[in-house]
Structure 1
Amino acid sequence: MNTKGLFRLPKFVLFGLAALVLTLAVGMAIPIQQNVFSNGLGQSVIASSLAAPATTTQRVTELKKQMMDSWQQEAKQKGVYQEIPKRYQGVTLNAVKPNQNDKIVALTFDDGPWPKYTEQILDILKENNVKGTFFVIGRNMKNFPEIGKRIVTDGHAIANHTWHHWYHRLNPKAAAYEIDATEEIIYKTTGVRTNLFRPPGGVLGNGPAAYAKSKKYSVIMWSADSHDYKRPAVPRLLSNVMRDSKPGGIVLMHDGGGVRDSTVKALPAMIEKFRNSGYRFVTMPEMLEIEDKELQMAKK
């Protein structure tokens, strides 16, 4: 045998031979291990191992449920829990009618998330311990995800305001995209699902609102319009809101889509005026839940 010839083999061949030997050795060892465990005590070990996956799966399922229940309770306490009573699914609302002794009002903001203004509004709400509802535009959520995340982490409710904020009539496919794409970017960014929708400009007959209702969204309009998109002076903006506000009212403001200095300047005084008049602030999901409970009690 020419041993010198063997060592002249290329290195990759030698490595291949070594790998083959190692594979054969491992293959021979596996049956030995199986034989050891197939007798005596080994049988009970195998039996318990086979039963383990079912027990583990059950425990994981229970843990997931506990985590989900805990998350939903925490989200509900923060005001971002999005499940709404069935009576409001697929309907259009301008306001609710709670007990007149319970002076509640919902502050809502459209067209964000938006640099500067959304953040300033969030700061003011946090300073005053107020929770609002933000109707976000899908493409803005995509472009400014960190601001969108903060809306939820600060405990506010988040809602759907279409992807592009178009006013013109849309065919069914385009209308579906406007809402579905926005729903997905909201969930992808914040981890929250929403079934609250507001049509751009309050237009109800151009396609998106009809699609939203077919998907069991509650279409949320408003009862008090700040007209802040006209950039009024602070006293005029406050007058616009307070003049039309009542218990169960929904206030329309904007945190994006343009210059919103008037909104930012007027918001602290607006909060003070409402509180001095005995109002408390709730998110839209909270408002709907409050009225639903009162209606159930009245029915009983």
Structure 2
Amino acid sequence: MKKLTCLLTVLSLCFSLSGCSIASTNISMGINKERFKIQLADFDNTCINWFFIPNTQARTPKINDKLNFELNDYNAIYNGPTNSNKKSLYLTFDEGYENGYTERILDVLKEKNVKAIFFVTSHYICYSPDTVKRMVAEGHVVANHTKHHYSMPSVTYSAVAFNKELYDVEDRFKKLTGQDMPKFFRPPMGKYSEKSLAMTKDLGYKTVFWSFAYGDYEPNSQPGVGYAKNHIFSHLHDGSILLLHAISKTNASILGEVIDEARKDGYEFYLLP
């Protein structure tokens, strides 16, 4: 038994020095062997900006074709499952801070019986706890958008720093709601690398990019209502993961119409599995 304890100690130290971490709950005969396969030095940390190529033909957009890896190898998606009965849409909101519109958005979602994913930062949980609790109570998914909203490739130099960006949000959510945070993650600013995706997957997360977004993120430079509705409607497609920002006055104003019109066009809103 002493030999086994020494061996585990040495293995733990070696992985710590190489930039990998072994969860404390795994330091036993039930060690997660997948952890031993991750050699961080093997992954490219070139920062990549997420983008897609929109179209108005209701087709799934093309994405960066220069990647030398597959997104699904790292449990990353940008389009959701499709449904044989109804065309599918997946509504997601990014929440870095509160701008007074999230409650209105939640009112509309409740009225229309639509569930969404809200990607929140630690800041948002601290300063809008009642809103987060309402999201959970009304059946929405509250997911991880990091502690500091850093570009994730910039913190891959340290597994401790990287993990803390996600663990801090998890811990605050658990203390507030008593629940474990669902393992969905949205990279801040859409910045990622193969290495950051690998490290995110190693923490058990699904990385959720998007196949629709538009310029709704500047509170003092909001798109007009007419433009916003037309832009959204002309880019809907089956399985689309829509990224909207809850700080947007325009989004709060048009959300009900967007939901109604999408349903008239044969779509239904779902949560990602």
User: In percent, how many aligned pairs have the same letter?
Assistant: 34
Residue 232 of structure 2 aligns to which amino acid in structure 1? Answer: V
In the TM superposition, 1:135-284 aligns within 5 A as: 135-167=119-151, 169-170=154-155, 171-172=157-158, 173-192=160-179, 193-205=181-193, 209-230=197-218, 231-256=222-247, 260-284=248-272
Q: How much does 1:89 deviate?
A: 9.2
Gap change, CA 1:132 and 1:97, over 3 Å in 2: closer
TM-score normalised by the chain length of structure 1: 0.60
- Partner SS state of residue 162, structure 1: coil
> What CA distance in whole angstroms lies between the structure 1 residues aligned with 2:196 and 2:75?
13
Check the 8 A contact 2:122/2:169 in 1, yes or no.
yes
> What CA distance in whole angstroms lies between the structure 2 residues aligned with 1:113 and 1:128?
25
> What CA distance in whole angstroms lies between the structure 1 residues aligned with 2:120 and 2:101?
13
Residue 164 of structure 1 aligns to which amino acid in structure 2? Answer: H
Note the alpha carbon deviations across 1:264-294, whole angstroms, 9 max, x for none: 1121111111111111111123xxxxxxxxx
Check the 8 A contact 1:137/1:164 in 2, yes or no.
yes
Check the 8 A contact 2:88/2:268 in 1, yes or no.
yes
> What CA distance in whole angstroms lies between the structure 2 residues aligned with 1:162 and 1:209?
14
Higher relative contact order (CA 8 A, sep 6+): 2
Structure 1: unaligned runs, 5 residues or longer:
1-87, 286-300
Q: Which of residues 92, 104, 113 in structure 2 aligns to 1:120?
A: 104
Q: How many residues align?
A: 195
Gap change, CA 1:207 and 1:104, over 3 Å in 2: same
RMSD: 2.1
Larger displacement relative to structure 2 (244-253 or 203-212):
203-212
1:81 is matched with none
The structure whose residues are more often strand, as a share, is 2
Residue 216 of structure 1 aligns to which amino acid in structure 2? Answer: G
Check the 8 A contact 1:115/1:144 in 2, yes or no.
no
Q: How much does 1:117 deviate?
A: 1.4
The structure whose residues are more often helix, as a share, is 1
Structure of higher CA gyration radius: 1
TM-score normalised by the chain length of structure 2: 0.66
Q: How much does 1:226 deviate?
A: 3.2
Structure 2: unaligned runs, 5 residues or longer:
1-71
Check the 8 A contact 1:113/1:148 in 2, yes or no.
no
Check the 8 A contact 1:226/1:251 in 2, yes or no.
no
> What CA distance in whole angstroms lies between the structure 1 residues aligned with 2:104 and 2:73?
32
> What CA distance in whole angstroms lies between the structure 1 residues aligned with 2:93 and 2:260?
18
1:17 is matched with none
Note the alpha carbon deviations across 1:232-283, whole angstroms, 9 max, x for none: 1112222332232211110000114xxx211111211111111111111111
Check the 8 A contact 1:204/1:210 in 2, yes or no.
no
Check the 8 A contact 1:178/1:208 in 2, yes or no.
no
